[in-house]
Amino acid sequence: MSETVIETRRLSKEYIRDEFHITALQDVDLEVKRGEFVALMGPSGSGKSTLLHLIAAMDVPTSGEIKVLGQDLRKLSDRAIARWRNENVGFVFQSFNLIPVLTALENVELPLKLTPLKKQERIDHAVTALKLVGLGDRLGHYPRQLSGGQEQRVAIARAIVTDPALILADEPTGNLDAASAEDILHLLARLNQEFGKTVVMVTHDPHAARFASVVHHLEKGRLLPMNGNP
Amino acid sequence: MSIPIAYNFRNLAVRKATTIMTALGISLTVAVLLAVLALLHGLETSLKSTGDPLHVLVLRKGANSELVSNFTRTGFQVLKTKAGIARDEAGNPLVSLEMVTVINLVSVDAPDGINVTVRGLEPVGIKMRKNLKLVAGRWFTPGRREVVVGQALVKRFPDVKMGKQLHFGTGDWDIVGVMASGQSAINSEIWADLNQLSSDQHRTEVLSSALVQATDAVAAQALVNRISQDQQLNMDAELETAYYEAQQSSGALIKGLGWFVAIVMAVGSCFAAMNTMYAAVARRSKEIGTLRVLGFSRLSILASFFTESVLLALLGGLIGCLLVLPLHGMTTGVGNFRTFSETDFNLTLTPRILMGGMVFAIIMGALGGLFPAWNAARKEILVALREG
C-alpha cells in the first residue's frame, strides 16, 4: 500500500468577518497518497483554496488534524514551518507571483537561497529546472518580457527547483489562454508521472481536472464523497 | 541565507523618482550637518593650532581675554625675572609685551563692518611665533605707522591689501606685509609696532598681555603656577594652548544650532524614508507573501526591507557628502565672544567628518525603515497575498 502524503481529519476553518462567523471548511477528511495527481474542484467559495492553504501551512485550521508528509503542521513554529515549506512544498499560484525585478533564473534560484548549496550549484539547479519547463533560452528574461504561459512555467520551475515531494497548484491555468493552459497541465502531469511528484491542484475547470488521477469535489466547505454525490 | 540584496537594489532602481526624492531629502540633512561639522572642525583646528605648548600667556588677574586685560610695563619688568623662561642666543629672555585692541573693518559679507584684532608687539614677539611666516612684503618698521596683516583677512576684506592703507586710531597705517601661520587665529589679526600702536591709542603704560616662552613643557606649567600664585604680580597665567582652546566656546552656538537644525531635518527625513518604505511594503505585499510561501522567514523579510531603507539612506548620505565637498577649504569667519573680534578659518571636511555624515544617514534610514520592515514581517501570508 502506498504511503499517505496528506491526511486530514475533521479539518475545519472558520473566519470571523464583521462579527459574522464564516465556515470556509467543515470536517474535511482527505487522504492523498504519494504519486497521486489530485484535483480539488468546486465553485467559488467552496473552500478548495482554503484546503490548499491549510495543506501548505499558509493558514492554520480552526479545528481538526492535518498531517502532511508525516508532519503534524500544528506542532511546528513559524520558523520551522517556513523551513519545512521550503524543503517539501512547491507552490504554484494562479497569477504566477514572480518577483518582477528578478530574472527568470534569479526567480527560480530564490528558494535555493535557503539551502546550503553554493552559488554555482544553485545556478546549475535553477538552469536545469528552467530547461525542464522548456525555458532554457529565457534565463536572463525578466517576468515582464515573458508571456503568461512562460511566466507560469518559470513559476513551476521555481516550485520544483528544491525537489519537493509535493506540488500544490492554486488554479494554475486560471490566468492563461487555452493553449498555454494545456501546456501547463501537460507539464504538471509530466512532473507527476515522470518525476513521481505528488500534485494537488485546485481548479474549477473540468478539462484541467481530467489531467488528475483523483478528483475531489468541495461544496460549501464540505468534501463530497468520491462519486460526486452529496 | 537571506533575500538577495539585488532584490533591494533593483527595487530602488525601479522606483527611480521616489528613490531620488527620498535620497535628496536625506542628502540635504546630511549636507547641513556636514557643513556645521566642517565649520566647527575648521574653527577648532584654527584655535588649537594658534597656541604653542611652551608659551604662557599672562594677563591681569581676573581678565579672561587679552582685550580686557590691563597689563603694566612695571609688572612686565618683574615678570621677566621669573625662573624657567627661555632665552635667545644673545641671552635675552623670550618674553613679549603685547597690546591688543579691536578695530572695525568692512568685509565682503558684512558691509556694516566686523571687529578685527590689532596686536602691537616688539620683534621678539614675532620671533617667538615659530610657525609664523611672512608670505608677502616685509615686517613693520618700529616707530612707523605700518602693519602686517593676516592672510585670511586679505581674502575676506576688500580694503586689506598690500600697498593699501587702513584708517584707525589717530592716523593711517600702511599695509607693508602679509603673514600666515598655518591654520591659526593669527591669520585673522593685524600686527603693528607695540610702541607706535600704544601711543596712537594713548595707552603707553597700560598694555594687554605678555607672552612668555618657557624652557620646556614642565617649566611652562611651573611658570603658570608660579605667576598665578605670586600675590605681588597680580597676574593670571595660562598655557597659550589652553587659552585658545577655551575660545572654542564661540563655536558652541553654531554647534548647538547646527545640531538642532540637523536633528529637526533628520526627523523629517526619517518620516520621508518611512513613508517611502511603507509605500514599498504596500506595493510589494504580494511579493512578501510569495517570499514567505517560498520559505523565507519573517526575519528575512524584516532584514530585507530594513536593508533597503538603509541602502536608500546611504545613497542620500553619499549625495550629501558630494553636495558639501565644494565647501572644503572655503574661508569663513566667526565672531569670538572672548576677544570680541572675528576669527577666520577654513571649512575642513575630514574623512572622519564625512564618515560621521554617512553614519548619520544610516541612522536615519534605520529609524525610518524599522517600522515599515516590521510591518512587512508581521503580515500573515494570505493577507499579504490578497493585498497584492
Which chain A residues are Cβ-neighbours of B385 within 8 angstroms?
Answer: 93, 97
Structural domain includes residue B100:
yes
Nearest CA in chain B to A56: B293
What's the gap in Å between the CA of A1 and the closest CA on chain B? 31
CA-based nearest residue in chain A for residue B11: A101
Q: Which residues contact B3 (CB under 8 A, 6 or more apart)?
A: A110, A113, B291, B296, B300, B301, B303, B304
Q: Kindly state whether residue B141 falls inside one of the protein's structural domains.
A: yes
Report yes or no: B300 and B3 within 8 Å, Cβ to Cβ.
yes
Identify whether residues B257 and B161 lie together within a single domain: no
Asked if pLDDT for residue A229 goes beyond 50, the answer is no
Q: Using CB atoms, which residue from A82, A87, A111 is nearest to B297? A: A82
Count of C-beta atoms within a 10 Å radius of residue B143: 10
B257 & B383 share domain: yes
- Structural domain contains residue B130: yes
* B31 & B82 share domain: no
Strands (E), B86-126: 95-105, 114-121
Residue B286 lies in a domain: yes
Dist. CA B212–CA B195, nearest whole Å: 19
Q: Residue B145 belongs to what domain range?
A: 55-213
Task: Give the strand pairing for A63-68 and A4-17.
Answer: antiparallel
pLDDT above 90: residue A86: yes
SS3 of B302, please? helix
For residue A74 the three cell numbers come to 500544528
Same domain? For B130 and B158 the reply is yes
Percentage of chain B with pLDDT > 90? 48
Give CA–CA dist B216/B222, Å, rounded.
10
Stretches in chain B below the pLDDT threshold 70:
1, 108, 248-250, 333-343, 388
Which pLDDT belongs to residue B212?
93
pLDDT of residue A184: 94
Judge whether B206 is closer than 8 Å to chain A, CB to CB.
no
To the nearest whole Å, the CA of B382 is away from the closest chain A CA by 7
Write out residues 280-339 of B within 8 Å (CB-CB) of A: 286-287, 289-299
CB A119, CB B6: distance < 8 Å: no
* Alpha-carbon gap, residue A192 to B73, rounded angstroms: 108
- Give pLDDT, residue B345: 76
Chain B residues with beta carbon closer than 8 angstroms to that of A117: none
If asked whether residues B270 and B138 sit together in one domain, one would say: no
Residue-wise DSSP of B41-52: HHHHHHHHTT--
Which chain B residues contact residue A78 at CB under 8 A? Answer: 297-298
Residue type, B149: V
Beta-carbon separation of A106 and B6 below 8 A: yes
Residues 6+ apart with CB under 8 A from B20: none
What's the confidence (pLDDT) of residue A228?
Answer: 43
pLDDT band, very low/low/confident/very high, at A29 (cuts 50, 70, 90):
very high
User: Looking at B156, B187, B213, which one is the last position of a domain?
Assistant: B213
Nearest-CA neighbor of A15 among B289, B282, B383?
B383
Query: Which percentage of chain A shows pLDDT scores above 90?
Result: 86
Q: Which residues contact B291 (CB under 8 A, 6 or more apart)?
A: A99, A110, B3, B300, B301, B304
B43 lies in the same domain as B74: no
Residue entry with cell 494545456:
A182
More confidently predicted of B75 and A121: A121
Residue at which a domain ends, from B158, B188, B213: B213
A176 in helix, strand or coil? Answer: coil
What residues contact residue B275 under an 8 Å CB cut-off, 6+ apart?
B22
Contact call for A101 and B11, based on CB within 8 A: yes
B14/A contact by beta carbon, under 8 A: yes
Q: Which residue of B has its CA nearest to A158?
A: B294
Residue B258, pLDDT score: 79
Mark yes or no for CB contact B295/A106 under 8 Å.
no
Backbone angles phi, psi at B95, to 5 degrees: -135, 130
- pLDDT level of residue A230 (50, 70, 90 thresholds): very low
| Same domain, yes or no: B105 and B165 | yes
d(CA B93, CA B214): 10
Which among A78, A86, A100 has the least Cβ separation from residue B294? A86
Q: Which of B3, B294, B311 to mutate to test the interface with A (most CBs of A within 10 A)?
A: B294
DSSP notation for B17-68: HHHHHHHHHHHHHHHHHHHHHHHHHHHHHHHHTT--TTEEEEEETT--SGGG
Q: Among A34, A53, A92, which Cα is nearest to A208's?
A: A92
- Residue B221 belongs to some domain of the structure: no
Inside any domain, residue B229 = no
Averaged confidence pLDDT in chain A? 92
B106 touches chain A (CB under 8 A): no
Q: Are residues B38 and B72 in the same domain?
A: no
Q: How far is A101 from chain B (nearest CA, A)?
A: 6
3-class secondary structure, A87: helix
- Indicate the residue type of A134: G
Instruction: State how far Cα A148 lies from the chain centre.
Output: 18
A78, A86, A101 member nearest B7 (Cβ): A101
Are B42 and B102 contained in the same domain?
no
Number of domains present in the structure of chain B = 2
Per cent of chain A over pLDDT 70 is: 97
CA distance A85 to chain B (A): 6
> Which secondary-structure segment (H or E) carries B204?
none
3-state SS class at A10:
strand
> Residue B230's pLDDT is what?
87
pLDDT at B114: 82
Cell digits for B120? Answer: 602691537
The one-letter code for the residue type at B145 is: R
B295–A85 C-beta distance less than 8 A: yes
Residues B60 and B98 in one domain: yes
Q: Has residue B243 been placed in a domain?
A: no
Residues in A touching B286 (Cβ below 8 Å): 97
Tell me, yes or no, whether B60 and B205 share the same domain: yes
Which three cell numbers, joined as nine digits, stand for B22?
A: 527620498
How many C-beta atoms surround the C-beta of residue A180 within 10 A? Answer: 18
**Residue in B2, B6, B296 closest to A82 by CB:** B296
**How far is B252 from B44, CA to CA, in rounded Å?**
11
CB–CB contact A82 B287 (8 Å): no
The predicted-structure confidence for B44-75, as pLDDT tens digits, reads as follows: 887 777 778 899 999 998 888 888 888 888 88
Q: What is the pTM of this model?
A: 0.77
Give a yes or no: residue B232 inside a domain: no
Element (H, E) at B144: none
Tell me: do B265 and B315 sit in the same domain: yes
| A chain contacts of residue B285, beta-carbon cutoff 8 Å | none
- Cβ A97 vs Cβ A110: under 8 Å: no
